[in-house]
Amino acid sequence: MKAAAAKGKLRSGVVLHVGDSITYASPYASWARAGEGRTESDRAALKWMHAGAGDDTDGWYLATFDHPDGGRSHTACGGIRSDEMLAGGKQHLPPLDELLEKYKPQAVVVMLGTNDASAGREVGAYRRDMESIVGKMLARGIVPIVSTIPPHVHKRELAASYNEALRDLARRLQLPLIDYEREILARRPKDWDGTLLNRGDVHPTAEQGGATPSSAPTPENLRNSGYLLRGWLSVKKIAEVKQSVFDAAGRVRRASTVEELFRAAEAAQPGDTILVADGHYPMPTYLEVHADGVTLRSESGDRTRVVLDGENSRHGELLGVGQCSGVTIADLTVRNARTNAIKINSDRYATAVTIRNCVVHNAWQRGVKGVAVRPEDRARFRPSDCRIERCLFYNDRPKRFEDDPSDTAATFGGNYVGGIDAMYARGWTIRENVFTAIHGRTGEARGAVFLWQESEDCVVERNLILNCDSGVCLGNASKPSDVEAHARRCVVRNNLLARCPQEGITAVYSRDCAIRQNVIFNPATRFRRLIRLVHGNDGMVVARNVLVGAPVLMETDSRVELRGNLTVP
Total-model pTM: 0.67
- Could you tell me the CA-to-CA distances from 303 to 259, 317, 329, 354, 386 in Å, in that order? 20, 20, 11, 15, 20
Number of domains in the chain: 1
How many C-beta neighbours within 10 Å does residue 503 have? 26
Instruction: Tell me if 272 is assigned to some domain.
Output: no
Q: How confident is the model at residue 457 (pLDDT cuts 50, 70, 90)?
A: very high
**CATH code assigned at 8:** 3.40.50.1110
Give yes or no for residue 327 having a pLDDT over 70.
yes
Give yes or no for residue 6 having a pLDDT over 80.
no
How many C-beta neighbours within 10 Å does residue 437 have? 14
Instruction: Tell me if 51 is assigned to some domain.
Output: yes
Q: How confident is the model at residue 379 (pLDDT cuts 50, 70, 90)?
A: confident
Instruction: Tell me if 407 is assigned to some domain.
Output: no
Across 156-178, b (16+ Cβ under 10 Å) vs e yields eebbbbbbbbbbebbbeeebbbb
Per-residue pLDDT reduced to its tens digit, 491-531? 999 999 999 999 999 999 999 999 999 999 999 888 999 99
Per-residue pLDDT reduced to its tens digit, 276-309? 999 999 999 999 999 988 999 999 999 999 999 9
Instruction: Tell me if 237 is assigned to some domain.
Output: yes
| Helix extents (H) in 467-525 | none
Give the whole-angstrom CA distance, residue 382 versus residue 515: 24
Instruction: Tell me if 340 is assigned to some domain.
Output: no
- Average pLDDT over the chain reads 95
Instruction: Tell me if 209 is assigned to some domain.
Output: yes
Instruction: Tell me if 528 is assigned to some domain.
Output: no
**Nearest one of 545, 523, 342 to 532, comparing CA atoms:** 545
Instruction: Tell me if 331 is assigned to some domain.
Output: no
Residue-range definition of the domain harbouring residue 181? 2-246
Higher confidence at residue 9 or residue 251? Answer: 251
464-466 and 387-389: which strand pairing? unpaired
